[in-house]
Amino acid sequence: MREKLKNKWGLAVRHWLLAVGCWPLAKGSQWPIAKGQLIILLFVLAAVSCAKKEAHVETYTCPMHPTVVSDKQGSCPVCGMDLVRKARAGEEVHITEDLNKLLPSTNEAIVSSIKTIKGEFKSMAISIPVQGIVTYDTRTEYSIPTRVGGRLEKVYLKYAFQKVSKGQKVAEIYSPELMTAQRELLYVVENDPDNQPLIESATTKLSLLGFTSKQTEELIKKKEASSTISIYSPYDGYVINDDQPQSNSPSVAPASMNGGMNSSSATNATISNSPVKLIRQGDYVTAGQVLFKVINTSELRIELNLPLSAVGSIKIKNELDLDLGNNEIEKAQIDFIQPFLNEGQEFVKIRLYISKIKDLQIGQLVHATIQLKPSEGLWIPTAAILDQGLTQIVFIKDRGVFKPKEIKTEKTTNGWTEVKGITSSDEIASDAHYLVDSENFIKTKN
């Protein structure tokens, strides 16, 4: 009876092993087994089965919040991102030092489906657009000084941009020194008329003090010293003062008063360092003091702002097309390139001098295009270049990813830039700015 029970238990164990998939044990379970042994075996197999099932339990977590864990797929209750499955045992990839060298950094390669282009070897005519302003030609700026000290009895130029003509009386001054010099000449003429060296010496002294030859003749004829002397302008032009903006300032002055600067807005007067203010009647002046500054507008100067990137390509005498806003294009050439930068500006000023043109006013904005000789080389669209200030970058497609590469730019014209550092067979991103992350952090390989 006991033997039958053992065989019966053994048969049951064999069938259970077949059911759980343990074929090797099932084939070897033809032997009879005791009840106690069977219970122990069942406990062992059950523990193994439970452990196997627990090993296959999937867990899901949030990539941004690792503390969020779930046994099924869903969304993170914190940020709303989809939960991802945790790696099972044995699925983790251990990054060794050798493997780390083979993996590119996230800022060294970019995966994108952006359109690619190739550089073209060709010869392109170079034109550089620039902008500028019309200002005074400082070579036609003049000063009207006084040669004697004294008090201004009358002043005929009363406001900035007042028109003045050559020979026009601008002021009358009383000077004790001048009175003394007149009396000396009259004394010599009356008491020693034959002493020509002495008369010439007295006449020269008056001339140095500002007397004209005509005034000297009138003094000898009238035989009476004048208490004041008239000061005349030796130049044509318009009166300016130090309150006017400098030529490198883009500000615009208010409209001129009647009779000033062709009844137009005037601006950007270039003033010398000597302090000059508009004087008034009753002011005291010293010998050598500048009373007025006069600018002649028959000759004008145009100052254009040239980008630093184009400075090496521009030379004096280069021709340009000047658009003065009157629907006409004037041909001109560069007369001067400023050899330094003004503080706070990122461009170099170039100058050209022109004669007065109808409807061209001081302070007027102008556009110009500098024409240079054609340049032959490898050209790519300017949009394919990422300018990082000190370096320029293009993105080259390599094995399905874009990798940044530093290049050297030469000339730019009409949306194209001549470059060095790549070949015509390289595929580059057509627009480099779409491949820049929010922090503009790009790493190139040297």
What is the rounded average pLDDT of the residues 248-272?
36
Q: Is the pLDDT of residue 281 over 80?
A: yes
Of 225-229, 260-264, 322-326, where does mean pLDDT reach its minimum?
Answer: 260-264
What is the rounded average pLDDT of the residues 270-297?
75
> From edge to edge, which strands make up the β-sheet containing 290-295?
141-145, 290-295, 237-240, 163-164
Q: Is the pLDDT of residue 422 over 80?
A: yes
If one compares 38 and 442, the residue with the highest pLDDT of the two is 442
Beta-carbon neighbour count of residue 288 at 10 Å?
10
Q: Is the pLDDT of residue 40 over 70?
A: no
CB 134 within 8 A of CB 361: yes
CB 177 within 8 A of CB 150: yes
> From edge to edge, which strands make up the β-sheet containing 150-155?
228-232, 169-174, 150-155, 284-285
Q: Is the pLDDT of residue 25 over 60?
A: no
* Predicted structure pTM score: 0.52
Q: Give 18's pLDDT tier (boundaries 50, 70, 90).
A: low
If one compares 311 and 61, the residue with the highest pLDDT of the two is 61
If one compares 10 and 431, the residue with the highest pLDDT of the two is 431
Q: How far is CA 171 from CA 152, 163, 179, 221, 289, in A?
A: 7, 15, 17, 23, 13
If one compares 320 and 251, the residue with the highest pLDDT of the two is 320
Q: Give 47's pLDDT tier (boundaries 50, 70, 90).
A: low
- Judged on CB neighbours under 10 Å (0-12, 13-18, 19+), 354 is middle
CA distance 173 to 160: 21
Q: 249-287: string of b/e by CB count within 10 Å (b at 16+)? A: eeeebeebeeebbbebebbbbbbeeeebebbeeeeebee
If one compares 195 and 90, the residue with the highest pLDDT of the two is 195
Q: What was the pLDDT predicted at 164? A: 92
Q: Give 250's pLDDT tier (boundaries 50, 70, 90).
A: very low
Query: Tokens for 404?
Result: 């940044």
Q: Is the pLDDT of residue 246 over 70?
A: no
What is the rounded average pLDDT of the residues 210-223?
85
Domain ranges (residues) in the chain? 2-55, 169-232
Residue type, 394: V
pLDDT per residue over 86-105, tens digit each?
877 777 667 677 766 666 66
Question: In sequence order, what are the residues at sequence separation of 6 or more whose Cβ sits closer than 8 angstroms to the Cβ of residue 341?
Answer: 347, 348
Q: How far is CA 444 from CA 102, 383, 405, in A?
A: 16, 19, 6
Q: What was the pLDDT predicted at 156? A: 92
Q: What was the pLDDT predicted at 344? A: 75
Q: Is the pLDDT of residue 142 over 80?
A: yes
- Give the SS3 label for residue 130: strand
What is the rounded average pLDDT of the residues 131-148?
88
Highest averaged pLDDT of the listed ranges 304-313, 321-330, 334-343, 423-432: 423-432
Q: What was the pLDDT predicted at 151? A: 92
Query: Tokens for 116?
Result: 């690619």
Q: 369-403: string of b/e by CB count within 10 Å (b at 16+)? A: ebebeebebbbbbbbbbbeeeeebbbbbbeeeebb
CB 120 within 8 A of CB 423: no
Alpha-helical regions (H) of 122-251? 176-191, 196-208, 213-222
Residue type, 436: V
